[in-house]
Amino acid sequence: MNKAILLERLQNERDHFEMLLNRVGFARQLAMRGVAAGLTIKDLVAQVLLREQFIADRLSEILHGETYAPSASFTALERFQQQYGYPDYESSLIEKNGHDLSIVEAYRQIELDEIVSQELAVYSNILEAIAKLTPHEFLDHDLYHRIAEHTYRPYRQTIMHINRWLKKNASETKR
């Protein structure tokens, strides 16, 4: 894979993600619970934001010559979350596809528009960092995989949860 393919795939997945959010937003379903494990679409968007913030920060570190190492102890994991405000998603000590309810709870009092605004800014930061990184940095830091892991894979997972929830609600409405 190269940067052009990564950017094309990222934008394609992003378009699907945004179209679905626009569709459910238009139907005013963003705050309804039960989409995934009792979460709302707003909660899921907050989780996407945090995943993107994680990779945006790692990309910035690479651009500044800083070194990141996944947390190897629970103490380090806790310190990481206190420092950054999100989990160390690449630590082997956390569940990879779970929902961190403590993080979701922190975003419950924040308006959806603010979450979306933050998420768009972080997404823009990711695109800017990708443009600045060299092919060697991509290979040295396994960025093709890591960027996918923290951007369009969460988009896909969120889309899957929302579509499953919409389908379930549609079938319940027909009854």
Tens digit of each residue's pLDDT (9 = 90 or more) over 160-169: 999 998 888 7
Asked whether residue 175 carries a pLDDT value surpassing 70, the answer given is no
Domains present along the chain, CATH in parentheses: 3-63+101-169 (1.20.120.450)
- Give CA angle at 56 (2, 110), nearest 5°: 140
The per-residue b/e assignment along 156-171, b for 16 or more CB within 10 angstroms, e otherwise, is ebbbebbeebbeeeee
Q: What is the pTM of this model?
A: 0.90
Rounded Cα gap, residues 60 and 160, in angstroms: 30
Q: What is the pLDDT of residues 9-20, one digit of tens each?
A: 999 999 999 999
Instruction: Please say whether the beta carbons of 48 and 154 come within 8 A.
Output: yes
Mean pLDDT of 118-142: 96
Structure tokens, 153: 């894979």
**Cα–Cα distance between 103 and 44 in angstroms, integer?**
11
**What's residue 112's pLDDT?**
83
Residue among 56, 93, 50 at smallest CA distance from 71: 93
Q: Is 36 helix (H, G, I), strand (E, B) or coil?
A: strand
Q: Which amino acid is at 34?
A: G
